[in-house]
Amino acid sequence: MAEIAEGGGGKGGKKKAKKGSARIDMTPMVDLAFLLLTFFVLAATLAKPKAMEIIYPKEVDDKEDKTKLDDALATTLLLGENENEVFYYSGAYKPDTTELILTDLSKDGFRKIMLDKNMRVNDQVVQLKAKLESKEIDELTYEEAYKQVVGAKDAPFVVIKTVDKTKFKNVIGAMDELNICNVRKRAIQDMAESEAIAVRQRSSELDLKKK
Amino acid sequence: MSKIKIAKSHSNRSGTRSSSTAPSLDMTPMVDLAFLLVTFFMLTAKFRNMEPIEADPPSSTSLTQLPEKVMLITIDTAGRAYFDISGRTVREKLINRMMVRYPGLKMTQEQIENFSKMGTFGQPVALLPQYISGDDDIKNALDEVGKGIPLDSLNNQLGDWIQEGYYAFVDDATEQGLTREQLKEDGLRYAIKADANTEYAKIEKVIDVFRDKQIFQFNMVTNLEGSDTNADANLNAQ
C-alpha cells in the first residue's frame, strides 16, 4: 500500500527530518473501499432480471388459420390443474381415440419428445450456428436464416392448452422448452371442454394406479 | 499497511545502503483504481424501489435482459395487478394525464413529486393520494387490504394507466427529440412479472387488457435457471 515511512523506522538517525511527517494508516480505508467495490459489483450483476418474450396473436377469425395448418405437424400440450401432470397428444383431437400421454417439463420429458419431432429444424439450426461461429455468415444473415428455418411450412408446431387453474410457471416452463427445441410456431389457447374432461379422467386413472 | 519484513531485516544488518533496494510495492495506482471503480458502481447503481408485493417469477433459460424503458405490471398469486413505468419525467407526465382523465383525482405538487419517485403501486385511483402521502405503515396497511389496480370491464383503471402511460412515454420521448423511427426501434416495452404460482387465467385477464389496447408483445420476467438446462449443450448432444 501507500508507503508509510515510519518515523521510528529510521534507526540510522540520518533521516531525522522525516520524524515529523505524520502519515495515517490507510489500511481500514482501503479495506472498506474493496468491500464496497465487491458489494457494488455483485449487486450490479445480480439485480438484472431476465425476461422471456412472448407474442400473443391479435384476435382474428382463427378458423381460417387453423385450416392452413397441417394436423400431422401438430402437437398439443395440455397443462391441467395439477402442475406435475402434463399431457400431450399428436395430431388432431378425436374424442374417443386420442390417447393423452403423460410427460413433464423437465429436460427428459417433453423436451426429448420435441427435440425428436423437430429434429430436421434442429439440425439446420445447428448447422447455421456452426456457420455463424466459423464466421461464414454474419449475425444478420444468421437471424434471417434462422427465422426461415424455424418458420418453415413443414416445421412442427405446438399448441399449449391451458385451463383457468394452470400455474403460470408451467406456461413459462412449456414456452421455455419450446424455445430450447427451436419450436417457434406455437400458440397458447384455452383448453376445450372435452380435452379438460379427458385430462381429469387420465389423471384420476393415474392416481388410482399409484394407490 | 502490511509491513514488508524482509526489507527490515536487511536494513538492520547492512545499514543505510540496502534500504534503497528494499522491495516495497507501490500500491497507490491499485487503490486509486479501486476507488474509481467504487465510485463508478455507486453512481451507476440503481436501487430498486420498495416493492409492495412479493412476486417470485418462474425460472427460464432465457438470457434476454429486461428492457430499460419498460412498463411493468406485477401480478401476485391472488391476481392483484400492480403498475410501474420507468422514467421519472414519464411518471410525472403520466400522473398529470391521469388527473385529467379522473377529475376526482387531486394531488398536490409534492404528491406528484413523490409519485414520480415511487416504484410499483397497486391502488385504485381514489386511494392514490392517501397512499402516496402515507408513511410506510399506512402504505403497508393499504397494500394488505388492497385489491390491486381495478381491471374489470366496468372500472378498467389498469387499461387507463396503460394507455396514459404510453402517451406519457411518447410525449416524453418527443420532448427529448426522438423521432418516430427511433421510437419504433427503442420504444416502450411491456413486461409482466407474475408469481410462478399464479393461475394463468389471472394473467390472461391482464393480457386481455393489453390486447384491448392493441399491445401484443410482452416480456415475461423470469429468473435465470441453473446451467443444467443449457440449450446449446443439449442441442449439440443430440
Q: How far is CA B218 from CA B13, B138, B210, B232, in A?
A: 74, 33, 9, 24
A4: closest chain B residue by CA:
B1
pTM higher than the cut 0.90: no
Q: Are both B69 and B38 inside the same structural domain?
A: no
Answer yes or no: do B69 and B130 share one domain: yes
Q: Is residue B235 part of a domain?
A: no
Residues B141 and B166 in one domain: yes
Cβ–Cβ below 8 Å for B38 and A36: yes
Asked, for residue B29, whether it belongs to a domain, the answer is: yes
Q: Does B7 touch chain A (CB under 8 A)?
A: no
- Let me know if residue B84 belongs to a domain: yes
b (16+ CB within 10 A) / e for A71-103: eebbbbbbbbebbebbbbbbeebeeeebebeeb
Candidate from A6-20, A21-35, B11-25, B177-191 with smallest mean pLDDT? A6-20
- Residue B37 and residue B66 in one domain: no
| pLDDT of amino acid A8 | 44
Cell numbers found for residue B236: 449439440
The residues with which A46 forms a beta bridge, in sequence order, are none
Domain parsing of chain A, residue ranges: 65-210
Looking at residue A20, its pLDDT comes to 63
Confidence label for B8 from pLDDT (cuts 50, 70 and 90): very low
Determine, yes or no, domain membership for B120: yes
Residue B7, Cβ density class (10 Å: 0-12 exposed, 13-18 middle, ≥19 buried): middle
pLDDT digits (tens, 9 = 90+) for A138-163: 888 888 888 888 888 888 889 999 99
d(Cα B231, Cα B237) in Å, to the nearest integer? 10
Which residue carries 463508478 as its cell?
B40
The whole-number pLDDT of residue B234 equals 40
Q: Is residue B10 part of a domain?
A: yes
Each residue's pLDDT tens digit, A105-132: 888 888 988 888 888 889 999 999 998 8
Band the pLDDT of B110: cuts 50, 70, 90: very high
What per-residue confidence (pLDDT) applies to B49? 64
Please check whether residue B67 lies inside any domain of the structure. Answer: yes
Question: pLDDT for B82-96, tens place per residue?
Answer: 999 988 999 999 999
Total domain count, chain B: 2
Q: What residue numbers bound the domain in which B87 lies?
A: 59-224
- Does position B14 have pLDDT exceeding 60, yes or no? no
Residue B205 reports pLDDT greater than 70: yes
User: Do B17 and B96 sit in the same domain of this protein?
Assistant: no
- DSSP-based three-state secondary structure for A175: helix
Q: Is residue B189 part of a domain?
A: yes
* Whether B119 and B196 share a structural domain: yes
Cβ-Cβ pairs closer than 8 A, A with B, add up to 181
**Residues B20, B126 within the same domain:** no
Q: Is the pLDDT of residue A94 over 50?
A: yes
pLDDT tens per residue across span A37-90: 888 888 776 666 788 888 888 766 555 555 566 778 888 999 988 888 899 998
| Residue contact B197–A167, C-beta within 8 A | yes
User: Are B67 and B28 within one domain?
Assistant: no
Higher-confidence position of B74 and A42: B74
Three-state secondary-structure class, residue A72: helix
Chain B residues whose beta carbon lies within 8 Å of the beta carbon of residue A26: 1, 31
The pLDDT of residue B224 is 81
The stretch A192-207 carries a mean pLDDT of 88
